[in-house]
Amino acid sequence: MKKIITHFKTICFFAAMSVVATVANAATYTATVSGNWSSSATWSGGVAPGNNITLDNIIIPGSVNVILDEHVTLNGVLASLDVSGSLVSATTDSLEITSGALTGNGSMTLEYLSFGTLGTMTFTGSLDVNTMDNSSLSLSLASNVQINDTLFLQSGSVTIGTGANLTLASSSNIKIDNGSIVTSGGILSSSNSYNVIYIGASKSSGVELNGTGLSNIYVQMNNNTQMLTLMTDVTSNGIFYHQIGNVVLNGYTLTLKGDYISNSGVAFNGSATSSIVVNSTNSLTNSINFATGANTVDQFEVNITSGGNVNVGGDLNIGGKLLLTKGTVTVVNSSTLTAVATSEIERDSGSLVIGSGSAFDGSASYDVSYYGTSKTMDIESSGAGLNSVMIDLDAASDSLNLYTDLDVAGTLNINSGGLDLSGYDLDIQGGYSAGVDGSIRGDAQSDLTVSSATQLSDTLKFYNGHDELNTLTVNVTDGSFVVVGSSLTLENLSLISGGLTLNNNNLTINSTGSITGNDVNNYIRINGTGSLVRTVAVSSPYVEFPVGNNINYSPVSIQQSSGVSDKFSVNIKNGVWSMGASGFNSANTESVVNRTWNISRTLTSATSVNLKMEWVAAAEVNGFDRTKSYISHYTSGAWDMSTAANATLTGGGTYQITRTGITSLSPFAVVDTSAHVGIEESELSVSGVYPNPVKDQLTYSINTAQPVLVELMDITGNIIYSERLAATGVVTTKTLDFSTIPSGIYMIRFNTTTNQVVKRVTRL
């Protein structure tokens, strides 16, 4: 053991003596005048330092300019070059610092500068270099450095320290093998157009991809098992040359503003948080492929301003959104594009094309949204999992045209523009909403089915001139009514569960059409000025108008025994109004069915109409006696009387009564024989009508502030007596002679310019 220790001490002694000897042999070369590096006249003592510096210290003082006219290498840890003046390459001559130090605060303009593993630089002046090659373990920049051609990061790291500025000249390159570049208080000036080239083994990106001037990107790894992993969002303004190796998106967004050129075997590795945006002016040269098992992205957007094409050459899963802004996405090479559950396809001016042998998988629940101008729906809405559809086109006149039947399981939202059925069928299985400029464009060949579970939250509005359908089916599970926000013409209406609400719009059924499924729960609700319009042929069976309001069902059936085939319109409202459509509501006090049926027809030719009025028991008010009921017709300014009968109960749970031989149409009501339908206002008061029944003379008391016309009418509305009375202003008793009038039921009508009172009397 003692011999070993003694030997080690001997080695250390000779090593120390060797370093002392080496330092003792080091020389210092100082440039005294401007000139060439190789010229002895440039240096003090008349001796040039040579081109391989291992021990020496080279000094270029301020105000001295040395021309680098040969390749110079610093190749020793003790070698140094201090440039406080200037050092300029003559032509292609270079400076290589394999080991040693570059110091000073002057300026250098070099063709080529390289740093080896042990090379260092504390130079704080300005450096203008065409190509800079670094293999230093840790090279820290403290000066202003401009790269005119290439910064080659072979290994180690280049750190841009505080006060330093690394500027990339236009069309310059950063080439990265095993090295890296980082900023630590300094600035990487990358607004000029520059390129980044990756070679070698797997690596992660750095600040080199952050510059606004980033143009071309080259991925040239050793083989296709090597990975370039992105560590930030990246925008390639030039061409993305994907030649060898995979690119791992790593949760970031890659934006391609130029072309994409690739070789066979390369791919992108996606993830549920990664995105690719193609925002270029022309079609991409090559397909975008994703690695097996890493073929999911959050967003895939195509916005090619020329309307060009992007090929997807491998399976791709859209986890978030497929944005077809402009241009075409074509799935090729027998690949499958899959819309993952809860994903969305947004289509503006772009389109999706599935190439021969390829497929679109929309089996999971996904949504589709349409923007921009008019277009035809395509493969993007063909998936069995299609959930919601949004239509938000530029203008109300724009339309989305169906290319096949459409079933919307989620919500159909027509915010702006129209959904043109184009002869196909639409089934709204979920919700529905529409904006002010949103509508459906129907046609005579298309069917619309509402098969949702609950009431639609918005009205079905149809575009003017496109307001017709073949069959409208209402099958709302909870029995809710579908509101129609515009006039509509149908061939058929099928009411399976629920009904329609017209409000102020007309519903027209074609003469060859039908209404089926209507009952006390499923009918056409009229809550405004809208009407149900149907054709009634001469001598045909009764045509049913299954109408009601928000309270209950009140259908009417119409039959023509003479005249011509015509369209009849039926509107209903609550109440029985003394002046037909206005005045006092007799349903507040009289025994009537709380309903008025307003019936009209298109033609005015002579006709004979039979009516069947129906109502439910809940519509009867004030002790209405259905055993002594009749249909009253408001005609000649008053409600007439008809033969009373016992209303019959139908199999559908309604009561029904009939009146035949009606020759004119206006409001109709159902009353009993005890009802007095008229109005009383303070300006006209009639009381003390007795005796009733009357035989010879009827007495009544009247108080009117206006002249009044007194008319006696028979049950058919014929006026058999009239007289005009002056305004009284006080209660006045009058008599009316009945002695020559035949027995029967009569109406006495008292009319002023603003009011009316009708009294019914019976002549014995």
CATH number of domain containing 748: 2.60.40.3080
Examine the pLDDT at 4 and tell me if it is beyond 80.
no
On whether residue 124 sits in a domain, the answer given is: no
Q: How many domains does the chain have?
A: 2
pLDDT value, residue 11: 33
Domain assignment of residue 433, yes or no = no
Q: Are residues 548 and 614 in the same domain?
A: yes
688 occurs within a structural domain: yes
**Residues 399-453: tens digit of each pLDDT:** 999 999 999 999 999 999 999 999 999 999 999 999 999 999 999 999 999 999 9
Neighbours of 303 (CB within 10 A): 20
Domain boundary pick from 651, 672, 693: 672
Residue 8 phi, psi dihedral angles, 5° rounding = -65, -40
Task: Find the CATH number of the domain harbouring 564.
Answer: 2.60.220
Question: Tell me: the pLDDT tens digits for 604-646?
Answer: 776 789 999 999 999 999 999 999 999 999 987 788 888 899 9
Residues 6+ positions from 465 with CB-CB distance below 8 Å: none
Specify whether 711 is located in the same domain as 744. yes
Alpha carbon distance 301, 281 (integer Å): 14
Do 589 and 713 lie in one domain? The reply is no
Of the residues 672, 694, 712, the one at which a domain ends: 672
* Residue 168 CB neighbours (<10 A): 26
- The answer to whether residue 9 scores a pLDDT higher than 80 is no
Counting residues of the chain whose pLDDT is more than 90, the rounded percentage is 83
Residue 585 included in any domain: yes
Residues 497 and 516: beta-carbon distance below 8 Å: no
Q: Which residue has the tokens 């070059």?
A: 81
Residues 666 and 694 in one domain: no
* Residue finishing a domain among 672, 692, 722: 672
User: What does pTM read for this prediction?
Assistant: 0.82
Q: Contact 644/758 with Cβ under 8 angstroms?
A: no
pLDDT of residue 1: 36
594: in domain: yes
pLDDT > 50? residue 19: no
Is the domain of 659 the same as that of 543?
yes
Asked if the model's pLDDT at residue 173 lies above 90, the reply is yes
Is 579 in the same domain as 693? no
Residue 639 neighbours by CB distance under 10 Å: 28
Say yes or no: 653 and 699 in one domain: no
Query: Which amino acid, one-letter code, is at 492?
Result: N
The pLDDT tens digits for 560-578 are: 988 889 999 999 999 998 8
Q: Does one domain contain both 748 and 624? A: no
Classified as helix, coil or strand, 628 is helix
Tokens of 386: 């299609």
657 lies in the same domain as 531: yes
Contact between 683 and 754 under an 8 Å Cβ cutoff? The reply is: yes
Domain coverage including residue 620: 524-672
- Asked if 645 and 728 sit in the same domain, the reply is no
Q: At 124, phi and psi to the nearest 5?
A: -115, 10
Q: Is residue 632 part of a domain?
A: yes
Looking at the fold, whether 702 and 631 belong to one and the same domain comes out as: no
Pick 136 or 1 by higher pLDDT: 136
Reply yes or no on whether the pLDDT at 277 is more than 70.
Answer: yes
Q: In angstroms, rounded to a whole number, what is the distance separating the alpha carbons of residues 77 and 92?
A: 26
The pLDDT confidence band at residue 579, using thresholds 50, 70 and 90, is confident
Residue 268 in any domain: the answer is no
**Per-residue pLDDT at 542 exceeds 90:** yes
Model pLDDT, residue 114: 97
**Domain presence at residue 593:** yes
**Same domain, residue pair 645 and 542:** yes
**What does pLDDT average to over the chain?**
92
pLDDT tens digits, 483-536? 999 999 999 999 999 999 998 999 999 999 999 999 999 999 999 999 999 999
Backbone angles phi, psi at 237, to 5 degrees: -85, -15
Amino acid (one-letter) located at 205 = S
Grade residue 20 by pLDDT with cuts at 50, 70 and 90: very low
Res 16: pLDDT: 37
